[in-house]
Structure 1
Amino acid sequence: MHIRELQWIEPIQAMRRLADRANLTFLDSAAGHEALGRYSYLSCDPFSTYMVEDAQASWNGAVVKGDPWDVLRGLLARYPQEHCFELPPFQGGAAGFLGYELNRTLERMAASASSGQRLPQAILHFYDVVVSFDHRFKRCLIVSTGWPEQDPAARAERARCRADEVAALLAARTPPPAPLPSAVVAWESNFSRRDYVAAVERVIELILAGDLFQANIAQRFTARLPDSFDPVALFHRLRTLNPAPFAALLRYGKLTIASSSPERFLKLDGRNVETRPIKGTIARSVDAKEDQRRTELIFPRKNGQG
């Protein structure tokens, strides 16, 4: 592993200098929270790509037979990563996204009523170089592993060369942000108001019946964007208006995901699992009557019964 410390650069500026590189992943903690927003990570130009489509795994575009999870375990084992506890936690490896539809590789489920966007169920790029940002100490580091080289000497040489490449890219002048269109018009929802209200009422009934304890009623809005639309500029503005501890910009060819979230879905650390959802919550009150009123906003009384 080759480690190189650079002069501090704001993560958003570094991302913009690498924005046109292939398969860029930017995991951004812009909220400045001591525990939840300490690190940001930036990677591009992966050496390999793992993908799942229709429950079928592929590696660099070639189909790999077998259970997708077993395939992924085998690929991760091929590139064992030594871990340095003095560095930010992510030090190279696989990064990308796992779609909700990936659950169909774990359990039998009824076919979806909607085909959705027909996106891959998962994309994980394997990165040999990561630029990490420690917001607490204002440190910017290049961590270069030298993968996929297996010979130790060749791997060490690749690690140094790749660090040189990334350092040169980060030394370039930051391009000016592209202007956003004044408005995105003609947003369309996959719900009508009546259907959405009916879905909420149905979920409340199921919760009160004890059939489930939580549901995420996702509403999709779509709009046609102009050819000049710049997703990097969109993310930059989103980050400015809503700095979040768990934000991300993924630029994977024709697919771009721009996310700004206060939630942590899952964190796995050894045998410890942490989740930080905020859906369906409401602040409690020390006043009993006010507390009851807020509770009834989520669980309304029926026929005068609690």
Structure 2
Amino acid sequence: MAETMFKQIRQAITSLNPEEVRAAAERPVHIALIASTSQGYAEMEDFLLPGNISHDKRMEAMNTLHRVGDIGTPHNFDLEIYEEGLPRPEPGFTFNPRDPGRTVSEILIVRDDLGLALARYYPAFRKAVSHHLVKTVSKENALFSLATALPNVLPSAVTLPWALGEFASDTAFLTTNQIRMAFLMAAASDRAVGYRNQKSEIASIIASAFGWRALARELAGKIPFGGGLLPKAAIAYAGTYVVGSSIERYYRIGYGYSRSERKAMFGDAYEKGRRVAGALLEHVKRREGTTVEPRTSA
């Protein structure tokens, strides 16, 4: 059984392309800063490029960070950030020096397509982008667990990174999506992306896959009449959330969570996963107006 699962996972990860992740993270993002004073410019620059980053990284980012009006400034920008108090035409953003995290959130809501590159170049965006990646992939994995059991209902209600039929098993999909998450988080953290560069993270993800699978089978099997759908989806969510959060911490400070910390985090994430899965099922029931009949899956 383990050998078969390894083969399925190995086949599944061929769908991943770390080069695409690298390309998305390395795309130039030209940011225009608009201020009325030198202090206003400095506040925004210090937030985007804090003093603890290396000289080389600062110089790389400064190539795409522009004070409007300086000689050589381009005419077109991906983002425009204005000093607080200045008129802000759409689609610009206002820098809030008292709550700069709010500015980050506002930018990412509107320009989610730039999130990976912004996080790579500018440390101020990394935490928000990494947390968003963890939550998004955790939800995708929970939804996939439901979709394989309700194949005629859920595909029209959810968006997943791949088609349901591309994978030999739930475990193959969940593991592959976690590895994809690791690639994205490395890119967002300005780390090297790829199988060779992330071999320890990938090995840990694959090893953990068997534990999550066994736990999902055990819980789902104890609850009759399809009631095991929510626990199974909740485990997919929680397992992915714990993996992603530990990777985020490792990239941020050099080490992940301890076993006891992961256990405590899993409990909280499991309850969140149940709510996510339950809300989706309720939505489907209301839309279909019928009883949802689950299909047993391996």
TM-score (norm 1): 0.26
TM-score (norm 2): 0.26
Q: Which has the higher helix share?
A: 2
Q: Which has the higher strand share?
A: 1
